[in-house]
Amino acid sequence: MVSRTLLVPQGEFELSRIPDVELLQAWDAADEFILNHIDDIQVLSRHRKLLILNDAFGALSVALANYPVYAWSDSFLAQRALRANLVANGYPVEQVKTNVDIGFPTAAVDLVVIKIPKTLALLEHQLYALRPILHHDSKIFAAGMARHIHSSTLELFETILGPTTTTRARKKSRLIMVERDHLLNEGQSRFPDYYELEVDRNYRIANHASLFSRDRLDQGSRLLIEHMPIAEAYRRIVDLGCGNGVIGMIAASLNPRAELLFCDESHMAIASARENFAAAFGSSREAEFRVDDCLQGVADASQDLVLLNPPFHQQHNIGDMIAWQMFRDARRVLVDGGELQIVGNRHLAYHAKLKKLFGNCETVASNNKFVILRSIKNPVNNHRL
């Protein structure tokens, strides 16, 4: 049985993941390392402001919740887990302040704790965003599993913030200590970055730092776009797990009477999708944009078509738990006769899950790597929910 109790100098904390995966705990050795280090050096007080970046499920924020903490995360699921874990450990959800969009705090901070994100571009963007809020006595620590810390990681800290050292590995994790050099002020974040896409016309696609495939359209999305469903019956279309919104944007262009809903758990994804939709349609077309856990909050039987290029990982962990929840949510929000169309790697065998859930699944198109699958919601199979 995987432990749900984090034991650190700050106390004992009951922590869970979202989604809750039985064999995975809600913290790692890097969390334990940094919390022990913060206690060892006695760097915190009730009056010192603490900024935590990329706290996966709230382990750091909950353990340090007795101090003035601001937790920044691009992930809605991470923020939801933080709120749940605060409550589970006797704190009100307001105990830790969090971001509501991609904006960074503007007030000066005394201590910054960074969990190394999966995307190096996101770390780069965050380090530039930190510059204006660091004063001469600010302390900066980063933590990660040793296999995720590379020379390129350390080079970013050195180039953007200042001299950087690392600790020896402990339980396969490592700490990074950064000294802010205030003479290093050249340059700025290069995000969002852009690429040109030609489909039915030319589009300039914006991509914020955390997004997958920022420099070009990924192969799976390209295949889905090449076989984009078009029908008068599609009046309400969802781009689920929308990323930069390209799939939904092309669906909107090819289905001009449809209303579009863009959903993603990434704040930066929704910011990118919003910018791209506005650039494509200006004020001539409206859409809804939701940062949420899959399709929570979307009414049952309210949508005609759900388009999906599902992720098969959450942070550094690979699995199909997110995709399975997306399939279930899609079925719930579809009207009877509504369609789910997904694109995925052939080896993931999504057809078996879709056939189990919908009672049907057909292949729309495929190539040597990806497959497009379609399932139709049939009221006869409502019991499958």
- Read off the pLDDT of residues 48-88 as tens digits, 9 standing for 90 and up: 999 999 999 999 999 999 999 999 999 999 999 999 999 99
Block residue for tokens 């999966």 = 118
3-state secondary structure the chain: CCCCEEEECCEEEECCCCCCCCCCCCCCHHHHHHHHHHHHHCCCCCCCCEEEECCCCCHHHHHCCCCCEEEECCEHHHHHHHHHHHHHCCCCHHHCEECCCCCCCCCCEEEEEEECCCCHHHHHHHHHHHHHHEEEEEEEEEEEEHHHCCHHHHHHHHHHCCCEEECCCECCEEEEEECCCCCCCCCCCCCCEEEEEECCCEEEEEECCCCCCCCCCCHHHHHHHHCCCCCCCCCEEEEECCCCCHHHHHHHHHCCCCEEEEEECEHHHHHHHHHHHHHHHHHHCCEEEEECCCCCCCCCCCEEEEEECCCCEECCEECCHHHHHHHHHHHHHEEEEEEEEEEEEHHHCHHHHHHHHHCCCEEEEECCCEEEEEEECCHHHHHHC
Structural domains in the chain, sorted by start: 5-178 (3.40.50.150), 193-384 (3.40.50.150)
224 in Cβ contact with 253 (< 8 Å): no
Which pLDDT value is given to residue 180? 97
Of 92, 87, 118, 104, give the one whose Cα is nearest residue 13. 87
Q: What is the pLDDT of residues 241-256, one digit of tens each?
A: 999 999 999 999 999 9
Which pLDDT value is given to residue 1? 44
Which pLDDT value is given to residue 132? 96
CA dist list (Å): 9 to 29, 32, 43, 115, 341: 14, 9, 14, 19, 49
Which pLDDT value is given to residue 347? 87
- Ranges of residues in the chain with a pLDDT under 50 are 1, 313-314, 316-319, 383, 385
Which pLDDT value is given to residue 312? 62
Which pLDDT value is given to residue 385? 47
Distance CA 259, CA 251 (A): 10
Torsion sign (Cα): 142, 147, 148, 153: positive
Q: What is the pLDDT of residues 224-280, one digit of tens each?
A: 999 999 999 999 999 999 999 999 999 999 999 999 999 999 999 999 999 999 999
Which pLDDT value is given to residue 79? 97
Which pLDDT value is given to residue 279? 97
